[in-house]
């Protein structure tokens, strides 16, 4: 019997999810979203388009590699802020802290996502689910075999992404319930794209991108699918993966 998975993206109202069986879900928080999805059955893998594992004093190599892989759409991958920057009270302070740690400031876009990033950071420490980070533009480019031509906020970009999803059998239904009412079109398509990676991960067909970021406890796990941890720490299930680093 196949396992259930879900792809998740942040939206203005909260979180939107598309499950492997193409059902839509919404939650004001990530915990509410997953709880709603599990009313239809347990989830084996949760793939989220949000940075998981925050750097301390160096840029994440996974972000660098993802930008390289998606070519002209590389601007869609922002550099993950260091933890101290996300905890800062203002953008100016956050940017200064990030620059001191990594040599680069912090964009308004990245700082605006701080509450979502910290929410997943806290939730993923305690959940029993296998949680992976997946970037939708990397998923789309992998399915298509090349970087996408159009921005996701345009009509051409929406149609391009729908065609790519259809090529792997993902047809997002027109009626998604509350998710369809509260999430933007590009958020829904991004969630559907990372659900593809979630399914492949459940089947053992993905692998980690290199990532020099730190799980709870401050341990680094570059090039490792199994984070290092102290014996007294709970398991750390989250990892950054590429959508198809193993052949079909």
Kindly report, residue by residue over 198-239, the tens digit of the pLDDT.
998 888 877 666 544 433 322 222 222 222 222 233 333 344
Determine the average pLDDT of the residues in 60-67: 76
User: Which tens digit of pLDDT belongs to each residue from 67-113?
Assistant: 777 777 767 777 788 899 999 999 999 999 999 998 889 988 889 99
The share of the chain scoring above pLDDT 70, in percent, equals 82
Please list, residue by residue across 104-137, b when 16 or more beta carbons sit within 10 angstroms of its beta carbon and e when fewer do.
ebbeeebbebbebbebbbebbbebebbbbbbbbb
Q: What is the mean pLDDT of residues 116-131?
A: 91
- The predicted-structure confidence for 38-57, as pLDDT tens digits, reads as follows 999 999 999 999 988 888 88
Tokens of 35: 């709880």
Determine the pLDDT at residue 58.
Answer: 78
């Amino acid at each position: 019997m196949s396992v259930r998975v879900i792809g998740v993206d942040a939206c203005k109202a909260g979180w939107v999810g598309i499950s492997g069986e193409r059902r839509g879900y919404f939650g004001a928080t990530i915990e509410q979203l997953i709880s709603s999805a599990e009313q239809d059955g347990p989830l084996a893998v949760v793939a989220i388009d949000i940075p998981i594992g925050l750097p301390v004093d160096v840029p994440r190599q996974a972000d660098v590699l993802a930008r390289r892989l998606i070519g002209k759409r590389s601007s869609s991958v922002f550099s993950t802020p260091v933890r101290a920057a996300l905890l800062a009270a203002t953008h100016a302070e956050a940017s200064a802290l990030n620059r001191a740690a990594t040599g680069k400031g912090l964009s308004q876009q990245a700082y605006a996502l701080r509450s979502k990033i910290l929410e997943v950071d806290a939730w993923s420490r305690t959940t029993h689910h296998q949680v992976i980070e997946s970037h939708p533009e990397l998923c789309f480019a992998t399915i298509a075999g090349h970087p996408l031509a159009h921005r996701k906020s345009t009509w051409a970009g929406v149609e391009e992404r729908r065609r790519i999803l259809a090529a792997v059998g993902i047809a997002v239904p027109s009626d998604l319930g509350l998710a369809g009412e509260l999430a933007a079109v590009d958020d829904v398509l991004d969630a559907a794209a990372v659900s593809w990676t979630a399914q492949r991960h459940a089947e053992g067909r993905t692998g980690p991108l290199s990532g020099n970021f730190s799980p709870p406890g401050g341990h680094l796990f570059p090039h490792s699918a199994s984070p290092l941890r102290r014996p007294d720490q709970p398991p750390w299930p989250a990892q950054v993966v590429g959508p198809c680093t193993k052949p079909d």
